[in-house]
Amino acid sequence: MTAPWTDEPIRVGLVGAGPWARGMHARMLAAGPETALVSVWARRPEAAQQIAAEHGAAPAASFDELLGSCEAVAFAVPPSVQAELAVRAARAGRALLLEKPLGLDLASARTLADAVAESGVVSQLVLSKRYHPRTREFLARAAQLKVHGARSCFLHGAFLGGEMATGWRLEHGALLDLGPHLLDLLDMAVSPVASVRATGDARRWIELSCEHENGAVSQASLSGAVRLPRALTRVELYGQDEELVYDTADFDHEEAWPVLRGEFAAAVRANRSSDIDVRRGLRLQELLAQAAGSGSQGS
């Protein structure tokens, strides 16, 4: 069990007012006690005002006004917007809670990672699955295995319609949106990914083939455009030992948010990032770029 939070809450400003900002970031940050949601800014002022009112925060009239109100900034915006604004926040000395991918391309991700390194601010990545206790149990067990091969998938139908079918997701597809999750898990559970190739169309179905530093190989199937009763995330590890399977079918995903919030607050107060930081985001972006450049798949 973690010790109860005794410090002042981290004052966090939220950038974005879309479905993910409403459904996760705002609720998580406002719940405390480790954090307090103090300000919300978005390019749609009325949406920012609504979220702020729901959680007792103040709507900011500009991004600069938001920076002046907080000590940390959480981003829930498209990757191209995050890559631009997070650089400004880092240079202003604000800790960063970042979404994946860091940017739409490797160059913008590197610029952001460089800005974080130069400013020395704390950063943390919202790789949501990594904060779930069951994921951490799986990765701990995987570390004890000698894996020869792995199969994995992340499949859902959110791109077919509804509020998560946003412009950047529909344009760039599952590689950028879902790929970071599976590449992160395979990179951790099997061994570091040495190379990755992609086939298919990221807007429909894309298949990743990974070679790992320990000689193992793995596959990852990604799609946000298949009709399923629920999202399917599964990783299967095979080797000399009994198979190890990770399946999120019965996860209560709400269990991840207090862990994420607590670890981000602790990192900010200690002025020391965890290993799920902008450097991890850049590592995953490098793999995404390698996959995107490996074949004739859609992007």
* Predicted local confidence at residue 298, as pLDDT: 45
- Cβ-proximal residues to 115 (8 Å cutoff; 6+ apart), any chain: 86, 87, 90, 91
Tokens of 277: 């930081």
- Between CA 90 and CA 96 the distance in angstroms is 7
Cα 29–chain centre separation: 16
* Predicted local confidence at residue 2, as pLDDT: 57
- Between CA 89 and CA 77 the distance in angstroms is 14
3-state per-residue secondary structure call for 199-264: EEECCCEEEEEEEECCCCEEEEEEECCCCCCCCEEEEEEEECCCCEEEECCCCCHHHHHHHHHHHH
With residue 148 as reference, give the H or E element that holds it: strand 147-155
Tokens of 4: 């109860």
C-beta neighbour count of 56 within 10 angstroms: 10
Walking along the chain (299 residues) 10 residues at a time, the average pLDDT comes out as 77 96 96 97 97 98 98 97 98 98 98 98 97 98 97 96 86 95 98 98 97 98 96 97 96 96 98 98 98 68
pTM for this model (two decimals): 0.94
Amino acid at residue number 67 = L
Task: Walk me through the domains of the chain, giving residue ranges and CATH numbers.
Answer: 10-128+254-276 (3.40.50.720), 130-252+286-292 (3.30.360.10)
